[in-house]
């Protein structure tokens, strides 16, 4: 994996200025920051939903296990 050194970062900035112009760089950075924030919110929400789903599956499995044990003890 290649580590981005200062030369590469400077090169990317110079190419960005040449392509987009100096006036659009702040707008692009702001848009990128907002997009990153939305992505992080989505990631957190997905993690929360996955955790809730796992908890629901675990509780359902425990309920089924308990009901199975209750049936076994009643039939004995």
Length of the chain equals: 76
> In the chain, where do the E strands start and end?
none
Place of tokens 């044990």: 69
- pLDDT digit of tens for each residue in the chain (76 aa)? 567 788 888 898 889 888 888 888 888 889 989 999 999 999 999 999 999 999 998 888 777 777 766 666 665 5
Q: How far apart are CA 24 and CA 29, in angstroms?
A: 9
Task: Report the predicted TM-score, pTM, of the whole model to 2 decimal places.
Answer: 0.54
């Amino acid at each position: 994996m290649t580590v981005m050194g200062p030369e590469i970062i400077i090169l990317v900035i110079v190419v960005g200025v040449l392509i987009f112009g100096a006036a659009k760089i702040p707008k692009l950075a702001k848009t990128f920051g907002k997009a990153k924030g939305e992505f992080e919110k989505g990631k957190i929400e997905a993690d929360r939903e996955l955790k809730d789903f796992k908890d629901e599956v675990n509780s359902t499995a425990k309920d089924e296990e308990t009901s199975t044990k209750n049936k076994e003890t009643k039939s004995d």
